[in-house]
Structure 1
Amino acid sequence: MPDLDTLPRPDLDALYDPPAERIQKAVLDRLIDFHRDYLAVATFFCLATGSTRGLDASPRGGPPGFVQALDDQHVAFADWPGNNRIESLRNLEQDDRVGMLFLFPGLDIFMRINGRARATTDEALLARLAEGGKRPKTATVVAIDEVLFHCGKAINRAGLWRADRHLDRAALPTPGRMVESLNAAAQGRSVDAAAAAQLDTHYSHAVRHNLYG
């Protein structure tokens, strides 16, 4: 295994050109109409947080517009049930810095928001962010430091939206198989195929139907 401390370090300024002036000017500290247009159709982003406990990147999704602009310098979104690790929320108690990376299905462009965030139980905001007839337990409000669009070369390198790049579910271990294999290894027994199938049935139903707790 490589020792990270002994790997040669690059001279970044020698290897990479500085960003073009138009790129630098496109980084703003507030939302303008373009950003609001994209937020109105956004259905997915990844939230980056950190603390002395470590770093976390958490997926967030919802119907178009689930991240709402409160004004030109603040956005908000609900926290919905996941695996209950709530690492993002716990990180924010110690370090309020966040990064948001939005993907737009079918488009080769990203939008990024960097800022400072706070989790809240403000009743009016929770009511505003309700989905599926449910009110979230908490919401997160982000004060924007930077907002920018990011080119979609990574999307095209990955062929992310191409149907021929979609994966065959049968080609990889299922969630139930992975959980059962870990349980079996911890208990010193063989994998129970029936238990794995039962876990898969539960998982498939939960991720499609138990979206709001």
Structure 2
Amino acid sequence: MDAVLDSYRDPSKLVLDKVIDRIDGYCAAFIALSPFATLATASPEGWPDTSPRGGDPGFVRVLDVHRLALPDRPGNNRVDSLRNLAANPRAALMFFVPGIDETLRVYGTTTLHGPDELDLDLTEFGKAPRSVLLLQVERAYFQCSKSVMRSGLWDPDRRVERSQFPPFSQVLREHCRDASIPEEEQLRAGLRLEL
């Protein structure tokens, strides 16, 4: 493994210098535009976990230059990320903005709070969050656009037609070996009710 790692050139000064220890104005503006982020955590045994998070643009709230508030919305109730953070409070968020190829990475240490513990209105879709994760920011930086550009993530011509993949209800029935899982329309209607 060392031989492979040694084959990479050293990162440039710019790549190293772009890492800051706070949320500056550019980071705050990017977060305010972002409707989607991934939350990375690790279990006590070291197993990584990445969880998608989304909402209206700015659903993650910048409280000040060192703190972000991430509301937890109804989901599948596995709460893998939250359980991981209870044991290992380090986390990373990666923010995406549709139409912008760069991403923003933010790292820090978290604390979990009930929705009434903080003096914040984080209501979305008419519902308060189940909990709120506060991230104490330790590092933040913008990631270059190469991976998003290569993927064509925002290119409408590269969108996959939904018909190219089986309906999610079918996938669940076969993964779970459970014929009682409802058809796609009923499944999606249930998911919409939980928003």
- TM-score, normalization by structure 2: 0.91
CA drift of 1:10 comes to 4.6
Aligned partner of 1:23 in structure 2 is 15
Structure 1, unmatched stretches of 5+, are 1-8, 187-191
1:78 aligned to which of 71, 84, 88: 71
Shift of 1:127: 4.3
Determine which structure has the larger helix proportion and give its number: 1
Q: Distance in 1 between matches of 2:174 and 2:31?
A: 40
Verify the 8 A CA contact 1:120 1:138 in the aligned structure 2: yes
Percent of residue pairs bearing the same amino acid type: 31
Q: 1:125 aligns with which of 118, 121, 129?
A: 118
- Name the CA shift for 1:23/1:32 in 2 (closer, same or farther; >3 Å): same
Partner of 1:115: 108
The CA deviation at 1:203 is: 2.5
Q: Distance in 1 between matches of 2:93 and 2:66?
A: 14
Determine the C-alpha separation between the residues in 1 that align with 2:176 and 2:15. Answer: 49
Q: Say whether residues 1:103 and 2:96 are aligned partners.
A: yes
Q: What is the aligned counterpart of 2:84 among 91, 94, 100? A: 91
Q: Aligned residue for 1:48?
A: 40
Match of 1:172 among 165, 168, 172: 165
CA drift at 1:134:
1.2
1:124-153 C-alpha deviation (Å, 9 max, x unpaired): 537421212211120000001100000111
Task: Note the aligned Cα RMSD (angstroms).
Answer: 1.9
The number of aligned residues is: 194
Q: Give the Cα–Cα distance (whole angstroms) in 1 for the partners of residues 71 and 37 of structure 2.
A: 13
Q: Does 1:147 align with 2:140?
A: yes
SS in 2 for 1:114: strand
Partner deviation per Cα, 1:163-188 (whole Å, 9 max, x = no partner)? 2211121121211111222344x7xx
Q: In the alignment, what sits opposite 1:204?
A: 188
1:30-41 correspondence to structure 2 within 5 Å: 30-41=22-33
Cα distance in 1 for residues equivalent to 2:176 and 2:20:
49
Deviations 1:70-93 (A, max 9, x none): 111010110001111100110011
Q: Is the 8 A contact 1:126 1:137 kept in 2?
A: no
CA contact (8 A) 1:76 1:140 kept: yes
Check 1:176–1:122 CA distance in 2 against 1; reply closer, same or farther (3 A cut). Answer: closer
Q: Distance in 2 between matches of 1:13 and 1:183?
A: 40
Q: What is the alpha-carbon distance in structure 1 between the residues aligned to residue 61 and residue 120 of structure 2?
A: 13
CA distance in 2, matches of 1:150, 1:84: 31
- d(CA) in 1 for partners of 2:58 and 2:24? 16
8 Å Cα contact 1:29/1:145 also seen in 2: yes
Q: Deviations over 1:86-136 (max 9, x none)?
A: 001100110001011111101110000011111111515374212122111
Report deviation, 1:202.
Answer: 2.4
Aligned-pair CA distance for 1:160? 0.8
Q: Deviations over 1:35-86 (max 9, x none)?
A: 1111111111000001225321000001111111111101011000111110
Amino acid at match of 2:87: Q
Amino acid at match of 1:153: K
AA aligned opposite 1:50: A
Q: Following the alignment from structure 2 to structure 1, what is the Cα–Cα distance between the partners of residues 116 and 188? A: 32
